[in-house]
């Protein structure tokens, strides 16, 4: 028998996150390890009257791709993937893998070529999202590979993931609606703010956010969620930021990233581990050196760094910044083939000032 919590999670994903309606075409992308959850989601979509279609990735195929693909294959954009992006109404991505480090030895140049080739498709997707033609949600299936990164047993990790999704609550959908209301207040306040300054040990960075929109990430796009974010004015970011936690991208880890910005652009990037990869990714395209997102994590059920951005960026008491593409709904204009979130802990003395006034301290908002 499937763990009954997956049925409960499937209901949250289909009813709350994607709000599947009769006749919606719903694409479910997942790793093979997520089969138990995919099965439950598939059933829930049918019960909601939608049309589920699945795309299940097999373990090892991404490595096979990078290991064997020649230039014309790295640069290929599948017309089927294009058709999917153009025609689906709802997209659910369920992450699950057998080995989170399977891509560690792939040449960054190859990853860059793929990111560049896929950029127009990513743009098309984001345009449809911004036009409200396409709803999306991403979630994580608790598999052993991710449990290993989190330094937990599978059972502990299942509990961690499902609690973060509020599936242990009697009515998880009601709980997520409560978070939506609370965050809406923070967003309303920040929408009137012009300038942000973030200060902590090793970090002093400022950016303009006037006219940009703060987005309430209430679990509909990420499950779990719990963050608010915006896209800063692209050329306004100034100063230095030191990221406490390793920055993970495409199966790689970069440690102790420090970025220095001038006129919005990264002018210096250092790391104690993975610096070459960091530089290669920042060279992906013009937009990769600009900030696409600045955000504050508010999910206090997520306390531990687990080397998984979906959870780490939500840790209650952290901020994160993404280099690369912005989310158009925030008003951000930066375009890039990458979007790389990096997380800094604020629980140990971090402060955020809004137009000179302190609004956040030691990992907590100080707004009414």
**Which residues make up the interface to another protein (CB under 8 A)?**
22-23, 25, 27, 32, 35, 38-39, 42-43, 46-47, 49, 51, 53-61, 64-65, 68-70, 72-73, 76, 78-80, 83-84, 87-88
Name the residue among 364, 346, 340 with its Cα closest to residue 203: 346
Compare residues 10 and 281 and give the one whose CB is closer to another protein: 10
Token pair in block for residue 84: 């999917």
Compare residues 43 and 213 and give the one whose CB is closer to another protein: 43
CB of 120 to another protein, least distance (A): 17
Compare residues 49 and 178 and give the one whose CB is closer to another protein: 49
CB of 265 to another protein, least distance (A): 36
Compare residues 34 and 150 and give the one whose CB is closer to another protein: 34
CB of 197 to another protein, least distance (A): 47
CB of 259 to another protein, least distance (A): 36
CB of 70 to another protein, least distance (A): 7
The C-alpha atoms of residue 337 and residue 288 are separated, in whole angstroms, by 8
Compare residues 91 and 207 and give the one whose CB is closer to another protein: 91
User: Any residues with CB less than 8 A from the CB of 356 and at least 6 apart, and which?
Assistant: 195, 197
3-class state of residue 285 by DSSP: coil
Compare residues 78 and 105 and give the one whose CB is closer to another protein: 78
CB of 133 to another protein, least distance (A): 14
User: Any residues with CB less than 8 A from the CB of 61 and at least 6 apart, and which?
Assistant: none
CB of 87 to another protein, least distance (A): 4
**In 158-243, where do the E strands start and end?**
195-200, 203-208, 215-217, 222-223, 227-230, 238-242
Pairing of strands 135-140, 227-230: unpaired
Name the residue among 364, 316, 311 with its Cα closest to residue 341: 311
> Residue 326's CB: how many other CB atoms inside 10 A?
27
Compare residues 145 and 184 and give the one whose CB is closer to another protein: 145
Name the residue among 258, 237, 234, 255 with its Cα closest to residue 246: 255
Contact between 354 and 193 (Cβ < 8 Å)? yes
Contact between 30 and 54 (Cβ < 8 Å)? yes
């Amino acid at each position: 028998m499937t763990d009954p919590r997956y049925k409960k999670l499937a209901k949250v994903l289909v009813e709350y996150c994607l709000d599947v309606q009769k006749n919606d075409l719903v694409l479910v992308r997942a790793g093979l390890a997520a089969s138990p959850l995919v099965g439950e989601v598939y059933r829930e979509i049918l019960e909601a009257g939608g049309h589920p279609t699945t795309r299940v990735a097999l373990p090892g195929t991404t490595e096979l791709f990078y290991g064997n693909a020649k230039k014309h294959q790295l640069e290929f954009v599948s017309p089927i993937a294009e058709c999917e992006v153009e025609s689906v109404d709802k997209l659910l991505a369920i992450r699950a893998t057998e080995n989170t480090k399977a891509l560690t030895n792939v040449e960054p140049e190859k990853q860059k070529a793929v990111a560049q080739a896929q950029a127009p498709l990513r743009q098309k997707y984001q345009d449809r999202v911004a036009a409200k033609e396409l709803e999306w949600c991403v979630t994580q299936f608790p598999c052993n590979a991710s449990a290993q990164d989190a330094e937990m047993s599978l059972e502990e990790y299942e509990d961690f993931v499902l609690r973060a999704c509020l599936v242990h609550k009697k009515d998880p959908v009601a709980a997520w609606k409560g978070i939506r209301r609370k965050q809406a207040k923070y967003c309303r306040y920040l929408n009137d703010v012009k300038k942000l300054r973030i200060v902590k040990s090793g970090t002093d960075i400022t950016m303009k956010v006037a006219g940009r929109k703060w987005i309430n990430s209430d679990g509909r796009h990420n499950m779990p969620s719990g963050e608010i974010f915006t896209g800063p004015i692209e050329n306004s970011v100034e100063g230095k930021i030191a990221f406490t936690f390793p920055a993970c991208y495409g199966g790689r880890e970069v440690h102790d990233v420090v970025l220095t910005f001038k006129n919005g652009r990264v002018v210096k990037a250092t790391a104690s581990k993975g610096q070459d990869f960091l530089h290669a990714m920042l060279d992906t395209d013009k937009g990769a050196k600009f900030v696409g997102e600045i955000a504050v994590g508010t999910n206090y059920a997520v306390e531990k760094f687990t080397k998984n951005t979906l959870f780490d960026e939500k840790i209650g008491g952290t901020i994160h910044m993404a280099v690369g593409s912005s989310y158009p709904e925030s008003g951000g204009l930066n375009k890039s083939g990458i979007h790389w979130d990096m997380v800094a802990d604020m629980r140990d003395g971090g402060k955020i000032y809004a137009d000179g006034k302190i609004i956040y301290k030691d990992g907590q908002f100080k707004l009414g």
